[in-house]
Amino acid sequence: MFPRDSALIGPQARYFFVDEIVAGLLRLTGLSIEFWFAAGYLVTLLVLYAALWRLGHRLYRGPLAVATLIAAETLRHRVTRTGVNTLEGYFHPRVLVFAVGVWAITTYLRGRPWRALLLIGTAGLLHPTTAAFFVVFLLPAIWITEPAARRIVGVLVTVGLTATAWMLLAGPMRGAIHPMDVEWRTLLSSKDYLFPVNDWSIVPWVVNLGTAAIAIGLLVYRLRSGVATPREAGLLAGCVTLLAGFLVTLPLVTIGSAFFVQLQISRVFWILDLLATALLIGALIDVPRARQARWRVVVAGVVMAAALARGNFVALVEQRERPLVAWTLPDDDWGRVVRWLAAQPVRTHVVADPGHAWRYGVPLRYAGRDVMLEDVKDTAMAIYSRESAERVIERQLALGDIGTLTADGARALAARYRLDYLILDREMDLPLVHREGPFRIYALR
């Protein structure tokens, strides 16, 4: 689909197999991308909520706390300054791997540590960094609670660190630990989750470190009070390791060491956020004293009411112009532009407002065609490669302010980048080939 843009997408895609897996499913079945992404989203929800149900039954004594945990985890929110949401309204492999990671934690708590590692290791084919955070969480947990497995854990850690060192110092990722240059970092300045020391105000630090403190503190309390199961000592070790990993690598992230920036280590707070929520619900609801029965019901009711209220607000008020579930693009002017582009030859190359994805709601790449520049995702892809960053910077400079682009400037861009069409919402002295409402599509070659 993207003969030109693969140069931009490729550096990140080399670490992921989700694209090869989806492509194989398409070839094998003939079913659409939309079908497989819908199926992937349903699988994500099923795995996530089944895993939460299992986790609740391992941590709590009663079903009320389990139901409250599941309701709480529907309250989608951004984990502060990490670039991740706890839930998405579409399929994302990161969320599926997180769901498998929650399942792996429950598998560990059930006394099957190697099965847990195998689960999350396999899921790493879809999103390796998310899986890696769960591996870092589980290995110290196994070390603490499974004395017989310590030699194997030591071997695994040694092999992993040795392989990583070889890849960074002499292998295919050689040079990846070098600091990013000023141009590269400037391009990434819009990503407010990459450089915590530079970009976080006091609030994100308080929120994220406070979340970690709640998770660690409640685990310590549960262990000391005799409420916890023996393997919760492993959860404590995993939480401490994640927090320590974030703090230890912080200087390397701050100086812009490319590999450590690309890991986006602040996302460990996603796991800590889940555990803090689960343990806080346990402390408030899963209590044995009869006189607190009414209080437990009130807390559970508030959480469930909040989940229902937020869901209804998003579906009926905040996004009332959109259906709850959509299989195709909206039938509006921009949606018809995207459909028109999808009907053009695969090698079609277009230029449009770089902010079109967030401005109009659908990126032109949904049509499966190359786009000269799209700010949000192109900048995100530039995290993974200096070459990708150079490509984005060069195109930003070449395009400049599209609001002042002239017909001669468009022709010059077309000659330089072999562009076929210009999509704008204003008149231009160029051959008009298609129009949808305010949007005009001009031929450049």
Burial class of residue 392, CB neighbours in 10 A (0-12, 13-18, 19+): buried
- pLDDT of the residue at 234: 98
From edge to edge, which strands make up the β-sheet containing 421-424? 370-371, 349-352, 421-424, 439-443, 432-436
CA–CA dist 246, 266 (Å, integer): 6
Query: For the ranges 11-25, 334-348, 394-408, which has the lowest average pLDDT?
Result: 11-25
Whether pLDDT at 288 is above 90: no
Mean pLDDT of 134-151: 97
Q: What is the pLDDT of residues 348-375, one digit of tens each?
A: 999 999 999 999 989 999 999 999 999 9
d(CA 391, CA 328): 31
Task: Count Cβ atoms below 10 Å from residue 323 Cβ, excluding itself.
Answer: 10
Q: How many residues does the chain have?
A: 445
pLDDT score, position 324: 81
pLDDT score for 290? 55
pLDDT band at 398 (very low <50, low <70, confident <90, very high): very high
Give the pLDDT of residue 174: 87
Provide the pLDDT for residue 141.
Answer: 98
- Where helices occur in 80-149 by DSSP H, the ranges are 93-109, 113-123, 128-145
pLDDT in tens, 295-311: 889 999 999 999 999 99
Segment 155-167 shows an average pLDDT of 94
CB atoms within 10 A of CB 316: 10
Q: Give me the pLDDT at residue 323, please.
A: 81
Question: Averaged over 393-402, what is the pLDDT?
Answer: 96
Q: Specify which residues 435 forms β-bridges with.
A: 440
Residue 271 is predicted with a pLDDT of 98
Cα separation, 212 vs 207, in Å, equals 9
Under a CB-based contact definition with an 8 Å cutoff, are residues 357 and 377 in contact?
yes
Find where tokens 């992230």 sit: 253
pLDDT grade for 289, boundaries at 50, 70 and 90: low
The number of beta carbons lying within 10 Å of the beta carbon of residue 273 is 23
What mean pLDDT do residues 115-141 have? 97
Q: Hey, what amino acid is at 303?
A: V
Q: What percent of the chain has pLDDT over 70?
A: 99
The token pair that represents 438 in the structure block: 């305010």
- Average confidence score pLDDT of the chain: 94
**Average of pLDDT values for 81-107?**
95
pLDDT tens digits, one per residue of 210-262: 999 999 999 999 999 999 999 999 999 999 999 999 999 999 999 999 999 99
Rounded CA-CA distance 139/198 in Å is 31
CA distance 364 to 377: 11
